[in-house]
């Protein structure tokens, strides 16, 4: 008789973690990397398991789960699929709460006996009263509990939950968005969704008090009706951003080989998501940008009118094109507004028509004055400042990258935002070389620390803001 | 009676360059930056002109053009618009061949008297027998002649000519594409196109023996019929890649304020470009990617079938979607081909359906064997290898970034390309942090030095290759 299922809430603060790995001694193994990562994160009770070793990375290594003296709530498994059923018996005997399988080669392999093996695993989990995450995933990242599966990710908790059918995305999202200020409550990579699935995760995060924004990368949905019910409830409580993988024939084929997902009709999925007031994105870049907008754009713009301010005629012309193509609107400026701008912007080499481009738009005074004039225009709902980083931006001893420029510019933009009540957004373009990247990363760090949303191009800014404004107005 | 116009060929190897700047003493001035850049590039005869100084940056500074003792073929001008006519009289007296005006505030300002001023400038140029580039531009970049307007750009000549109505793009394109291996024959920023215009430039480069590929950023065309004739001839001789700015209302407004361009009907422009067998791109990123493909993809793929090889299930699923959305095709693999792959790829955690994803696809042996199997499939015309760079890619002491990995991987890919006759393309994803960027830039440098086309994401690879294949098959 199966025991009552543990709720997800019980999985996120394990007292002890065992890492069971066939190749724990191999420096390239996932299991070893998990042990290293947990150590680096300061997780207090890590138990490597492999009968070949008595010590590993300075920790005692145990021959079996039962040999571990302390409490084990969570088990990370990377052993061949053939050995998993015996291990699950050990898990039941040790009274663990959850098991993550990095191990792959199950239903996604297309081999019939492996799908049967998955069903046997699920029976053992039900009988043993524990939950399975995966198989074919990287499992849990819970900053508050110092529960990690990789290194290099910021460990401060934050308000974003990420549900990911891909282990790569689950590890990459916090890694890539750290420098842009995004922090996470929990990240769950759930792979083949044998037990814990997208619907249960969505239900959990829609009520999780530590989560304010929900992001999801989903290849396939196991039970469409249940999922839509959960999505409806989640979207009524919090912003939900969904990235659907497997939308073309090649993507579907890969999704089936990746997580055994039978991807549903894209058109139907998109239509339902729209009805339910979720934000859909087309790729990881957009997912990141929309999360940055939701997290840091303050206030959220009340309309799609934008003003673009910065240095560079070509970029400004293209910005005009890209903004409108992405669904934002760049209102033209009245002669009165243009006259106001001409009081402090030089006529030569300048564009006053929105985008506003002038050679002195790197001086905090000019930036501030321009933003204040534009912020008064009723159909301008957001103010975008753009800046490029490359050797040429170092004219005059790198003025655009120096602390002398950055802090006054940040203050000017913060004051303009406060004075006008219009959100200020930053489009900082990364550099092609290492010196330029140093400047870019320093500037990004300063703007992010000051609480601004930072995007990496005007096109990306426009795409993200158009989606967020449409969602906010729906 | 106007003299016969000088042909453009006479403008690209000036014996002496004068830089006339009202603010030559100001460290932020364009004119000063041009003098610094010419010095750094080793241009032999640089003459700063400004009556306020007798020396500048270690060079004698002259009160006027006439005071210069040597030959002056080219003059770079950054003085207020009000003073330009007198300067042009000096240019005629000094018998110069060409004058570039960084100075802006002419027809693009919308002021009627400034448009008249432009016409007076043109009359003086015709009467004086010299050519005007701009106004409102950064002028010429000719690596062979060490003629430059900014620093940080590779000075080796290469086969690409770039015609740019935007000065920013003219400076940024060589700067940003240097690390990806692109080198230029000539870059001309022509701003308001008062004299030298897009049509004359196109005619010149279509016959320039130093130019094999022509790229153009154009906001507006002065004479549609002449331009189309020139485009037709150029496209029949060389690949021509066109990036049209000012395609939306906001972009048009900005283009008019930027270079006084009256942008033409986008639909008509696009339709004509298609008929004339040019490659059109939508943004700078695409322009760069298409140039990389044209320059380094060898042989150019004979069809749009691609195979994707690399590590990472999520990225592979998305790759499938993105490739097909961009217009490439990922042929599925027959059971026979899959069986061949399984001989050396592990079953667990792998996808064999194209994209091919396996944990050992970072070993040169596995990469090489996989590429050779896929290269035999008839409807696969190109082989794409993808690799990400971030702290997690440093598992096992940074194996993916080390010389030990890079050189064998490069050799494996080069041999696979040779053995299969199918183009190998690289999608290297930049990193979010400085350590990752160091690894990324080192890997990019190594792959570029080996002659491979390097793109920065699978999406960008697909977009560029789809455009190039369509052009090649047209």
Element (DSSP H or E) covering residue B8:
none
Contact list in A for residue B349 (CB cut-off 8 A) is 102, 104-105, 136
Contact list in A for residue B151 (CB cut-off 8 A) is 391-392
Query: Of B184, B100, B81, B91, nearest to B139 (Cα)?
Result: B100
Q: Say if residues B24 and B31 touch (Cβ distance below 8 Å).
A: yes
Contact list in A for residue B109 (CB cut-off 8 A) is 347
Name the pLDDT band for B396 (thresholds 50, 70, 90).
very low
Interatomic CA distance for residues B266 and B374, integer angstroms: 41
Residue B169 Cα, gap to closest chain A Cα (Å): 6
Predicted confidence at residue A23, as pLDDT, reads: 83
Could A348 and B249 be called an inter-chain contact, meaning their C-beta atoms sit closer than 8 Å?
no
Asked whether the predicted pLDDT for residue A393 surpasses 50, the reply is no
Could B317 and A397 be called an inter-chain contact, meaning their C-beta atoms sit closer than 8 Å?
no
The per-residue pLDDT for range A330-380, each reduced to its tens digit, is 998 999 999 999 888 876 556 778 888 877 777 888 899 999 999 999 999
Contact list in A for residue B178 (CB cut-off 8 A) is 432
Which tokens in the block code for residue A364?
Answer: 């905090």
Q: Which of B105, B175, B329 sits opposite A392 (nearest CB)?
A: B175
Give burial (CB, 10 Å; 0-12/13-18/19+) of B251. Answer: buried
Question: How many Cα atoms are found within 13 Å in the side-chain-facing hemisphere of B49?
Answer: 23
Question: How many Cα atoms are found within 13 Å in the side-chain-facing hemisphere of A221?
Answer: 24
Q: Quick one: residue A266, left, alpha or beta (phi over 0 = left, psi -120 to 50 = alpha)?
A: alpha
Q: Which of A171, A253, A330 sits opposite B250 (nearest CB)?
A: A330
Asked whether the predicted pLDDT for residue B270 surpasses 80, the reply is no
Could A254 and B165 be called an inter-chain contact, meaning their C-beta atoms sit closer than 8 Å?
no
Could A152 and B392 be called an inter-chain contact, meaning their C-beta atoms sit closer than 8 Å?
yes
Q: Say if residues B420 and B379 touch (Cβ distance below 8 Å).
A: no
Which has more confidence, B275 or B28?
A: B275
Interatomic CA distance for residues B461 and B326, integer angstroms: 9
Cβ neighbours of A199 (radius 10 Å): 21
Could A390 and B284 be called an inter-chain contact, meaning their C-beta atoms sit closer than 8 Å?
no
Name the pLDDT band for B1 (thresholds 50, 70, 90).
very low
Contact list in A for residue B167 (CB cut-off 8 A) is 313-314
Query: Of A76, A95, A102, nearest to A20 (Cα)?
Result: A76
Residue B406 Cα, gap to closest chain A Cα (Å): 17
Percent of chain B past pLDDT 90, that is, above it, reads 62
Mean pLDDT for chain A overall = 88
DSSP B430: P
Angle at A149 between CA A147 and CA A150, to 5 degrees: 120
Interatomic CA distance for residues B381 and B422, integer angstroms: 6
A149-158, B46-55, B88-97, B108-117: the lowest-pLDDT one: B108-117
Name the pLDDT band for A396 (thresholds 50, 70, 90).
very low
Residue of chain B whose Cα is closest to the Cα of A180: B432
Asked whether the predicted pLDDT for residue B394 surpasses 60, the reply is no
Could B391 and A314 be called an inter-chain contact, meaning their C-beta atoms sit closer than 8 Å?
no
Interface test with B, best of A285, A313, A350 (most B CBs within 10 A): A313
Could A391 and B151 be called an inter-chain contact, meaning their C-beta atoms sit closer than 8 Å?
yes
Instruction: State the helix-helix crossing angle for A198-207 and A224-237, rounded to 10 degrees.
Output: 20
Could B351 and A152 be called an inter-chain contact, meaning their C-beta atoms sit closer than 8 Å?
no
Which tokens in the block code for residue A329?
Answer: 């609107």
Interatomic CA distance for residues A437 and A319, integer angstroms: 22
Which has more confidence, B13 or A224?
A: B13
Q: Enter the pTM of the model.
A: 0.85
Chain-centre distance for alpha carbon A19: 26
Interatomic CA distance for residues B310 and B359, integer angstroms: 8
Predicted confidence at residue A453, as pLDDT, reads: 98
Contact list in B for residue A105 (CB cut-off 8 A) is 347-349
Mean pLDDT for chain B overall = 88
Contact list in A for residue B250 (CB cut-off 8 A) is 319-321, 323-324, 329-330, 332, 354-355
Residue A1 Cα, gap to closest chain B Cα (Å): 32
> Where are any strands of DSSP class E within B275-422?
279-281, 306-310, 351-352, 356-357, 382-388
Q: Which of A105, A175, A249 sits opposite B392 (nearest CB)?
A: A175
Residue B1 Cα, gap to closest chain A Cα (Å): 32
Could A254 and B319 be called an inter-chain contact, meaning their C-beta atoms sit closer than 8 Å?
yes
Could B332 and A253 be called an inter-chain contact, meaning their C-beta atoms sit closer than 8 Å?
yes
- Pairing label, strands B306-310, B356-357: parallel
Most confident of the ranges A41-55, B240-254, B404-418: A41-55
Residue of chain A whose Cα is closest to the Cα of B311: A168
Residue A105 Cα, gap to closest chain B Cα (Å): 4
In DSSP notation, B437-463 reads HHHHHHHHHHHHHTT--EESSHHHHHH
Predicted confidence at residue B363, as pLDDT, reads: 83
What SS3 state is found at B242? strand
Name the pLDDT band for B434 (thresholds 50, 70, 90).
confident
Which has more confidence, B344 or B461?
A: B461
Interatomic CA distance for residues B280 and A249, integer angstroms: 27
Percent of chain B past pLDDT 70, that is, above it, reads 89
Which has more confidence, A347 or A78?
A: A78
Could A392 and B152 be called an inter-chain contact, meaning their C-beta atoms sit closer than 8 Å?
yes
Give burial (CB, 10 Å; 0-12/13-18/19+) of B78. Answer: buried
Could B152 and A217 be called an inter-chain contact, meaning their C-beta atoms sit closer than 8 Å?
no
The per-residue pLDDT for range B63-104, each reduced to its tens digit, is 999 999 999 999 999 998 889 999 999 999 999 999 999 887
Contact list in B for residue A395 (CB cut-off 8 A) is 27-28, 33
A182-196, B115-129, B218-232: the lowest-pLDDT one: B218-232
Could A318 and B251 be called an inter-chain contact, meaning their C-beta atoms sit closer than 8 Å?
yes
Which has more confidence, B451 or A169?
A: B451
Name the pLDDT band for A265 (thresholds 50, 70, 90).
low
Interface test with B, best of A141, A250, A253, A260 (most B CBs within 10 A): A250
Could A28 and B165 be called an inter-chain contact, meaning their C-beta atoms sit closer than 8 Å?
no
Q: Say if residues B145 and B12 touch (Cβ distance below 8 Å).
A: yes
Interatomic CA distance for residues A213 and A162, integer angstroms: 9
**Cα Rg, chain A, nearest whole Å:** 25
Asked whether the predicted pLDDT for residue A277 surpasses 60, the reply is yes
Tokens 């997780």 correspond to A43
Asked whether the predicted pLDDT for residue B263 surpasses 60, the reply is no
Most confident of the ranges A50-64, B252-266, B275-289: A50-64
Asked whether the predicted pLDDT for residue A242 surpasses 90, the reply is yes
Percent of chain A past pLDDT 70, that is, above it, reads 89
Cβ neighbours of A49 (radius 10 Å): 27
Interface test with A, best of B176, B254, B335, B454 (most A CBs within 10 A): B254
Could A353 and B318 be called an inter-chain contact, meaning their C-beta atoms sit closer than 8 Å?
no
Residue A302 Cα, gap to closest chain B Cα (Å): 20
Asked whether the predicted pLDDT for residue B322 surpasses 90, the reply is no
Which tokens in the block code for residue A356?
Answer: 């506003």
Residue A183 Cα, gap to closest chain B Cα (Å): 15
Residue B78 Cα, gap to closest chain A Cα (Å): 11
A30-39, A378-387, B17-26, B267-276: the lowest-pLDDT one: B267-276
Name the pLDDT band for B245 (thresholds 50, 70, 90).
confident
Contact list in A for residue B152 (CB cut-off 8 A) is 390-392, 433
Secondary structure of chain A in the HEC alphabet?
A: CCCCCCCHHHHCCCCCEEEEECCCCCCCCHHHHHHHHHHHHCCCCEEEECCCCCEECCEECECCCCCCCCCCCEEEEECCHHHHHHHHHHHHHCCCCEEEECCCCCHHHCCHHHHHHHHHHHHHHHHHCCEEECCCCCEEEEHHHCECCCCCCCCCEEEEEEEECCHHHHHHHHHHHHHHCCCEEEEEECCCCCCCCHHHHHHHHHHCCCCCEEEEEECCCCCHHHHHHHHHHHHHHCCEEEEECCCCHHHHHHHHHHHCCCCCCHHHHHHHHHHCCCEEECCHHHHHHHHHHHHHCCCCCCCCEEEEEECCHHHHHHHHHHHHHHCCECCCCCHHHHHHHHCCCCCCCCEECCCEECCCCCCHHHHHHHHHHHHCCCCCCEEEEEEECCHHHHHHHHHHHCHHHHHHHHHHHHHHHHHHCCEEEEEEECCCCHHHHHHHHHHHHHHHHCCCCEECCHHHHHHHHHHHHHHHHC
Asked whether the predicted pLDDT for residue B3 surpasses 60, the reply is no
Predicted confidence at residue B185, as pLDDT, reads: 98
Asked whether the predicted pLDDT for residue A395 surpasses 50, the reply is no
Residue of chain B whose Cα is closest to the Cα of A400: B28
Predicted confidence at residue A471, as pLDDT, reads: 94
Distances (CA, A) of B116 to A35, A100, A204, A266, B123: 75, 75, 70, 58, 11
Contact list in B for residue A104 (CB cut-off 8 A) is 348-350
Contact list in B for residue A167 (CB cut-off 8 A) is 313-314
Predicted confidence at residue A300, as pLDDT, reads: 94
Instruction: State the helix-helix crossing angle for A266-275 and A224-237, rounded to 10 degrees.
Output: 30
What value does the mean pLDDT take over residues A25-32? 80
Could A317 and B33 be called an inter-chain contact, meaning their C-beta atoms sit closer than 8 Å?
no
Could B314 and A28 be called an inter-chain contact, meaning their C-beta atoms sit closer than 8 Å?
no
A98-107, B156-165, B308-317: the lowest-pLDDT one: B308-317
What value does the mean pLDDT take over residues B273-294? 92
The per-residue pLDDT for range B335-392, each reduced to its tens digit, is 999 999 988 887 655 677 888 887 777 788 889 999 999 999 999 999 999 887 765 4
Cβ neighbours of B60 (radius 10 Å): 14
Q: Which of A103, A248, A317 sits opposite B348 (nearest CB)?
A: A103
Contacts of A63 by beta carbon, 8 Å cutoff, 6+ apart = A49, A50, A51
Interatomic CA distance for residues B152 and B441, integer angstroms: 16
CB pairs < 8 Å spanning A and B: 255
What value does the mean pLDDT take over residues A191-208? 96
Name the pLDDT band for B112 (thresholds 50, 70, 90).
confident
């Amino acid at each position: 008789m199966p025991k009552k299922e543990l709720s997800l809430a019980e999985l996120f603060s394990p007292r002890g973690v065992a890492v069971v790995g066939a190749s724990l001694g191999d420096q390239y193994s996932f299991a070893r990397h998990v042990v290293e990562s947990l150590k680096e994160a300061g997780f207090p009770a890590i138990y490597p398991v492999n009968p070949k070793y008595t010590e590993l990375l300075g920790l005692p290594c145990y021959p079996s789960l039962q040999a571990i003296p302390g409490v084990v709530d969570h088990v990370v498994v990377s052993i061949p699929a053939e050995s998993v059923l015996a291990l699950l018996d050990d898990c039941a005997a040790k009274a663990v709460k959850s098991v993550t399988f990095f191990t792959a080669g199950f239903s996604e392999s297309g081999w019939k006996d492996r799908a049967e093996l998955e069903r046997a695993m699920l029976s053992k989990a039900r009988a043993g009263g524990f939950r399975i995450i995966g198989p074919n995933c990287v499992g849990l990242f819970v900053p508050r509990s110092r529960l990690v599966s990789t290194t290099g990710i910021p460990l401060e908790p934050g308000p974003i939950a990420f549900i990911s059918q891909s282990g790569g995305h689950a590890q990459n999202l916090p890694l890539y968005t750290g420098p842009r200020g995004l922090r996470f409550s929990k990240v769950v990579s759930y792979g083949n969704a044998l037990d814990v699935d997208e619907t249960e995760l969505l239900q959990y995060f829609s009520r999780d008090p530590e989560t304010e924004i929900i992001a999801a990368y989903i290849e396939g949905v196991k039970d469409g009706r249940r999922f839509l019910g959960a999505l409806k409830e989640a979207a009524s409580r919090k912003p939900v951003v969904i990235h659907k993988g497997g939308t073309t024939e090649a993507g579907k084929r890969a999704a089936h080989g990746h997580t055994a997902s039978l991807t549903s009709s894209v058109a139907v999925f998109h239509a339902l998501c729209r009805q339910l007031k979720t934000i859909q994105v087309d790729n990881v870049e957009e997912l990141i940008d929309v999360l940055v907008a939701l997290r840091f754009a303050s206030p959220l713009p009340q309309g799609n009118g934008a003003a673009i301010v910065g240095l560079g005629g070509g970029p400004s012309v293209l910005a005009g094109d890209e903004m409108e193509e992405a669904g934002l609107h760049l209102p033209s400026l009245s002669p009165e507004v243009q006259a106001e701008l001409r009081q402090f912007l030089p006529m030569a080499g300048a564009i006053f028509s929105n985008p506003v481009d002038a050679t002195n738009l790197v001086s905090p005074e000019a930036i501030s004055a321009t933003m204040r004039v534009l912020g008064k225009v009723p159909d301008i709902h957001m103010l975008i400042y753009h800046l490029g980083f490359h050797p040429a931006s170092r004219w005059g001893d790198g003025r655009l990258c120096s602390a002398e420029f950055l802090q006054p510019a940040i203050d000017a933009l913060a004051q303009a935002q406060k004075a006008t009540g219009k959100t200020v957004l930053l489009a900082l373009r990364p550099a092609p070389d290492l010196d330029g990247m140093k400047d870019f990363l320093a500037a990004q760090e300063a703007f992010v620390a000051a609480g601004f949303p930072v995007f990496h191009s005007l096109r990306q800014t426009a795409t993200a803001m158009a989606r967020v404004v449409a969602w906010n107005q729906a």
